[in-house]
Structure 1
Amino acid sequence: MTAADLFGANLVAMVTPMNPDGSISTEGVTSLVDHLITTGADGLVVAGTTGESPTLTDAETTQLIKAVATQATGRAKVVAGIGTYDTASSIRRAQEAEAAGADALLLVTPYYSKPTQAGVIAHCRAVAHATTLPVMLYDVPHRTGLALDPATITELATHPRIQAIKDAKGDLAEAMTVMATTDLAYYCGIDDLNLPYLAAGATGLVSVTGNLTATPNADLIQAIRTGDLDTARAIHVSQIPVTAALTTASQGAANSKAALAELGIIPHPSVRLPLVEGQPGSILALAV
């Protein structure tokens, strides 16, 4: 079974639709899942950074995974974000995600406590041992303050359930080296770099802009797979304004929700503090 079979290839870092009072919008979740799958997503990352995971309680995370898994059954893989800076908590969340119907796990490096690489290896192995689900590591040092060393990635790749990595580090040379020396599937986690990562051999994308651009992302993946680099470059260039509008003016979750609400895909652009809502009407105008 390939990584695309386990995780999908065109993954979206899904926002968590919320009501104005901050509660999770069941209507919004259902509508968004249908929108993403209909427009080309074959994997949904739930309760990740873009899903405002730091503000979700354990109960809300389980509720969200269940709702997405129920709506996406047979149509897209559901990858649940379960990583924290506490190994025991991460194990519990992993087991709850498995019980809630997740197909795979997204495991971010422990943040804030900044353990040694040996500690990171022990943490990731412990979580991977805790369920039967495949694991995608998440390397995002600008958020966690802790990068995965290449030797650490190579070591973790020997675990039978650690099968992929979402690379938001942006070191393409390192990524190409690890891809050449391990069986890990690489997923680009920086929308500005989707084209070069795919061209270098990445399996797919975990895209923030995919909340609105799942179709061109799918077309980009297909163009690379068929060796049509001219088309791939044209698609990438066409998406530069969208990426800039969604990820540079403010936080991607807030901007994506503002655009999705403007399009009527989710009822409200609500986010939880410390995020603040994107400006209605401004995001789509910048993306044109």
Structure 2
Amino acid sequence: MAEPIWTGPAVAVVTLFDEKGRLLAAETGAHAARLVAAGMRAVVVAGSTGEAATLTDPERAELVAAVRAACPGVPVLAGSSGEWYGMAVERTAAVLEAGADAVLVAPPRLGGDLAVYYDRVAEAAAGAPVLAYHYPGVAGGPVPVDALAGLPVQGIKDSSAEPARLAKEIELGGKAVYTGAAALLGYAAWLGATGAIVAAGNLVPTECLAAWAGDAGAQREVARAEAAYKARPGGLKAALAEVHGTAPTRRLG
């Protein structure tokens, strides 16, 4: 397996918008920098937590540039999925030009030839790492475990929260495996996953790090925090606004 881009917990960072829904790129960068200072080992921009489906391509590039400038010491990954490979190729090239170190790419929602799709994305990445993204129903279509070994990707983010699937991905070998499920931080580390990319890192970064290190109490605290913010619409941004004074506006819902 190639050397992973990072190991341990990373944050799937929220995208901040003002009260009229306009992008707050610099403010998002400042929030990401706060999380890096707390110990998050990488930042993922324009993922599902970052409301990527609402971003224009210029906004996506602006956001990547702002977070890259604010977080010089860690890898910055950007979502660059598309409903066909042409969209994903254009987005991949654009976010890498804007300063991303790697890309996170879900398959098209309506399926297709995954090998061709990821081949084209890997060509556009021109050597930069590509991570597949498995979160069907939320971010594109599925990445079958049986197909993963043959795809030209460095690894996968698996947000399915399925322990058995995670174990199969790790058992494959040759690919970095990142869980996207905050509830599985301790389990994933124990099992031998490469790391994690979690939305809960926006709110409880130190607890996420401790859970990854094997602290069962911290894992329970992460689960409680996640359950609390998921219990209300826009709960994560609302909780962040209460703690840090960041903008609570969402474009989705």
| TM-score of the two chains, using structure 2 as the length reference | 0.93
Once the two structures are superposed, the pairs formed by residues 51-62 of structure 1 within 5 Å of their partners are: 51-62=50-61
Q: How does 1:62-211 map to 2 (within 5 A)?
A: 62-73=61-72, 75-111=73-109, 113-115=110-112, 119-131=113-125, 132-144=127-139, 146-156=141-151, 159=152, 162-211=153-202
1:106-152 CA distances to partner (integer Å, 9 max, x unpaired)?
011211x232xxx1221012101212210111001232573222221
SS in structure 1 at match of 2:203: helix
% of aligned pairs identical?
27
Distance 1:66 1:10 in 2: 22
Cα deviation code 1:149-181 (max 9, x no counterpart): 22211211xx3xx11210112332232233222
Match of 1:13 in 2: 12
Q: 1:201-232, CA deviations, whole angstroms, 9 ceiling, x for partnerless residues?
A: 11111111110111111122233xxxxxxxx2
Q: What letter is aligned with 2:237?
A: K
SS of residue in 2 equivalent to 1:187: strand
Work out the CA distance in 1 between the residues paired with 2:241 and 2:28.
Answer: 12
Change (3 A) 1:270 1:144: closer
1:234 aligns with 2:217: yes
Decide which of 189, 198, 205 is 1:214's aligned counterpart.
Answer: 205
Q: Scaled by the length of structure 1, what TM-score is found? A: 0.82
Q: Which amino acid aligns with 1:114?
A: G
Query: Partners in 2 of 1:80 and 1:140 — Cα distance?
Result: 16
- State the 1:260 CA deviation: 1.4
SS at match of 1:166: strand
Determine which structure has the larger helix proportion and give its number.
1
Instruction: Return the index of the structure with the highest Cα Rg.
Output: 1
Within the alignment, does 1:269 sit opposite 2:248 as a pair?
A: yes
Q: Is the 8 A contact 1:7 1:104 kept in 2?
A: no
| Matching residue's letter, 1:241 | R
Q: Aligned-pair distance for 1:240?
A: 2.0
Task: Quote the Cα distance in structure 2 between the aligned partners of 1:146 and 1:270.
Answer: 27
Per the alignment, in what secondary structure is the counterpart of residue 65 of structure 1?
helix
Which stretches of structure 1, 4 residues or longer, exceed 4 Å deviation after superposition?
Answer: none
What's the secondary structure of 1:142's corresponding residue? Answer: coil
Gaps of 5+ in 2: none
Aligned to 2:3: 2
CA distance in 2, matches of 1:145, 1:58: 17
SS in 1 for 2:160: coil
Equivalent AA in structure 1 for residue 191 of structure 2: A
